Amino acid sequence: MGPSRADPQHPIAAHARSVRRRRPIRPRALIAATLALAGAIATTTVSLARAEARSSTTISFVSLTKATTNVPTGEIMADVDHTAAGKVIGSDTLNCRNTGRRTRPRRAVSVDLTDGDLFLLVKPAPSGGSGIVVAGTGRYAKATGTVVGKPLSRTRTDVIITLDERRFGLPGSS
């Protein structure tokens, strides 16, 4: 017969001697670790709430259509953008494509402002249109956000672009 488990030469007995027993966690250490974790979660929650409180910037203007060109696939519009007070702040170009009866049309819009450009995709609707900011240049290089347009007349549209500050370097963003 071979060696028994009680025999010090047995491989299992040798392994049992080399394994150290772990000490149980002391209650004070457990309480301290729990409080530290709760504090970290509370701090993170407060920081996220502050970040959400200042998470967007709004650009508002009135777009006035100056020229419309019909092309085989739709039309292209050139507009001048100004504030409610009448100050010109930029221009925009709409590429309106006719997509047929089965799909809703989309408009690709390029907005040229003094400190950069914004590129939008808009779905038109009878009461206006809405869409997303897909890219930008200059100050708006990593911009994302939403856009809403409401027609004021046949040639004037009220436009509101809401940009997400956390994605690019606006003042006050982190």
Q: What percent of the chain lies above the pLDDT cut of 90?
A: 23
The CA distance from 136 to 140, in Å, is 5
Mean pLDDT over residues 92-121, rounded?
83
CB 163: neighbour CB atoms within 10 A? 24
Among 148, 144, 151, 146, which residue's Cα sits nearest to residue 165?
A: 144
Length of the chain: 174
pLDDT tens, 102-114? 666 778 898 999 8
Q: Rounded to two decimals, what is the model's pTM?
A: 0.62
8's CB contacts (< 8 A; 6+ apart) are: 14
pLDDT tens, 22-75? 656 566 655 656 655 555 565 554 444 444 444 678 899 999 999 988 888 888
Name the β-bridge partners of 130.
123, 148
Task: List, in order of start, the domains of the chain with CATH numbers.
Answer: 11-53 (no CATH), 56-167 (2.40.480.10)
54-58, 85-89, 103-107, 166-170: least confidently modelled range: 166-170
